[in-house]
Structures are given as structure tokens and as C-alpha cells.
Amino acid sequence: MDVKTLWTSRVQEFYRKMYGYYSIIGANIIYFFLIITGVFIYYFNLFLQWIPPQIPVEVILSLIITLILLPTKVRTFIKRADIVFLLPLEWNLKSYFISSLVYSFVIDAIKLLSLIIIFISQFLQTTNINLLIFIFILGIAFYNILMKWTEQWLENQVLDLSQIFGHKKVSSL
């Protein structure tokens, strides 16, 4: 398999599998989702009317955005057997991992955009959103993904060292 087409084939395989799962589950859940969405919109509107003007909405919104973006994942589509077969090609897979980082960033940007759409009325009441602020927030999301990537890499390095030296558990620094 060519290294350049490996990422594309892995993503297509992932979405083919997910489409199969969601087509089975989705037909049964669509009505439940519509009812829950209607109830959420109703109570969310009541919540927005209830918030007094003295409460700093910026703090609440920043906490919600933090809670949404904090558990981010970097999807690499690497399988367990790839550790053995792709290890010699690790330095040739740079474009593969860059594509994974871009994919993860796009997923987080979509989550962020949908969150902003949900809270747009609160955003517009408290602050002026311009393109610079949105780019800054996207930059923070991208930096979050890079840090998660570094964290995953460091965890793998510690695990590799523990296997080399025969330790079952490496104490944290």
C-alpha cells in the first residue's frame, strides 16, 4: 500500500464502518432526537431569558467552550497491527500525521462553530464578535490539538521506555 494513499483509505474505511453503524441505529433514534431537541430549545430559551444582566456571560461561555474543547482527540486511524508494519516507515508518514492533525482540527472547528451558533444570542448581547476574535479562538483550538498530539507522543515514549527497561509501570514525573 502506498504511504500517500494510506490516510485516505483509512478514513474511507472508518466512515464506511460508521455509516453502517449509524444507518442501523439512526432510523430508531431520529424521532427521539427530534423530541429531545425541541425540549432543549424550549428550556434553553427559558434559561436565556432567566439570566440576569449582572451575571458575566463571558465567563459562562468561556467555561462551556473550555468544557467542549478540553476532551479533544487526535484521530490518527492507526490500527494495532500498524505498530509492527508501519514502524520502519515512521519518518515517511509525515503527511499522514499532518492530515490527521488537520482532520482533528476541522472536527474541533465544527464543534466550536456549532457551539457558537447555539450561543449566538448571548455572544451578540455581551461582546462584538469579529473575525479576529474567531481566528484567535480557532488558534487556541489548533494549539490544543498540537498539545494533545504532544501528550500522546510523550505517553507512547514513556511506554516504550518502560517496555525496554522491563518496568510494568513508570512513575509520573
The per-residue pLDDT string of the chain (173 residues; one tens digit each, 9 = 90 and over) reads 677 788 788 888 888 888 877 777 776 677 777 788 888 878 877 877 777 777 777 777 778 778 877 888 888 777 777 777 776 777 777 888 888 888 889 988 888 888 877 777 666 666 666 778 778 888 888 898 899 888 887 887 666 656 666 655 545 54
Residues near 77 by Cβ (< 8 Å), separated by ≥ 6? 7, 10, 11, 13, 14, 100
- Report pTM: 0.65
pLDDT of residue 160: 60
Structural contact between residues 157 and 169, judged by C-beta atoms closer than 8 angstroms = no
Q: What residue ranges do the domains of the chain occupy?
A: 3-165
